[in-house]
Structure 1
Amino acid sequence: MAYDRDLADRIRDVFAGLSVREVKMFGGLTFMVNDKMTATANTHGDLMIRCDPDRVEDLLTKPGADWPSMRGKKMSKGWIVVEADRVESDKVLGSWLEEALDYNEKVTGSGD
């Protein structure tokens, strides 16, 4: 299964020093932080993050953000996909990954 290697490397850089496991799924490479799905680099260079379901509506107002779907069906609330051209800057990518890490800490109780 192919995934955007550049995006994956950039995610690795942000997650360096954390308890991370990489798993091929969701048509890409998923990063499990503290054994919870946190972010995915997909084949098209899009980023998918797991986020606080209570923040989804606000996050969907950001440029390039959309509700992800799988096999034509919307995924459950708590996931956001961001278009590849909207995560070209390290600052923007970092802000999305921070959103995912904040939620990861909330659900795992980890302070990593």
Structure 2
Amino acid sequence: MGYDEGLVARIRSLLTGEPGLTEKRMFGGLAFLLDGHMALAASGSGGLMVRVPPDRVPELLTRPGASPMVMRGRELAGWLRVTGEPDVDDLDGPDLAGWVAEGVAFVHTLPPKK
């Protein structure tokens, strides 16, 4: 399964004008990096991967559709997987904007990669 092109288009529109933005195909999906740090990605297995402060993970897991990001059987610290509810368009509207803002805000706290 490839990543959702509609989701990618919505993410791009939310990131318009963001300095240091690059895109890179990773893990079967399309990652969005700011100053070299991956902030989020349209996952190749569906949904969204979002980088967040590790200490906020418990709080953010209470949001609809959020779960720990697991790769190769291991939970990734500071990463969440977000999927849409079955009765709602996948990650549409303000929920997506909020998740994108979470990933962007966190990577802005990191020093630029060289």
Report whether the alignment pairs 1:92 with 2:76. Answer: no
Aligned amino acid, residue 23 of structure 1: K
Q: Which residue of 2 aligns with 1:80?
A: 80
Structure 1 unmatched ranges of 5 or more: none
Aligned with 2:109: secondary structure?
helix
Q: Contact (CA 8 Å) 1:4, 1:44: kept in 2 or not?
A: no
Question: How far off its partner does 1:16 sit?
Answer: 0.6
Q: Which residue of 1 aligns with 2:17?
A: 17
Q: Contact (CA 8 Å) 2:27, 2:44: kept in 1 or not?
A: no
What TM-score do the two structures reach when normalised by structure 2? 0.85
Aligned amino acid, residue 4 of structure 1: D
Q: Matched residues, percent identical?
A: 37
In 1, the alpha carbon distance for the partners of 2:81 and 2:13 equals: 20
Question: How far off its partner does 1:63 sit?
Answer: 0.9
Q: Contact (CA 8 Å) 2:2, 2:45: kept in 1 or not?
A: no
More helix by share: 1
Question: How far off its partner does 1:2 sit?
Answer: 2.7
Q: Contact (CA 8 Å) 1:56, 1:78: kept in 2 or not?
A: yes
Question: How far off its partner does 1:32 sit?
Answer: 0.5
Find runs of 4+ consecutive structure 1 residues off by over 4 angstroms.
Answer: none
Q: Which residue of 2 aligns with 1:3?
A: 3
Aligned with 1:2: secondary structure?
coil
Aligned amino acid, residue 27 of structure 1: G
Q: Which residue of 2 aligns with 1:106?
A: 109
Aligned with 2:6: secondary structure?
helix
Report whether the alignment pairs 1:58 with 2:59. Answer: yes
User: What value does the CA root-mean-square deviation take over the aligned residues?
Assistant: 1.8
Report whether the alignment pairs 1:28 with 2:29. Answer: yes
Question: How far off its partner does 1:45 sit?
Answer: 3.3
In 1, the alpha carbon distance for the partners of 2:14 and 2:46 equals: 16
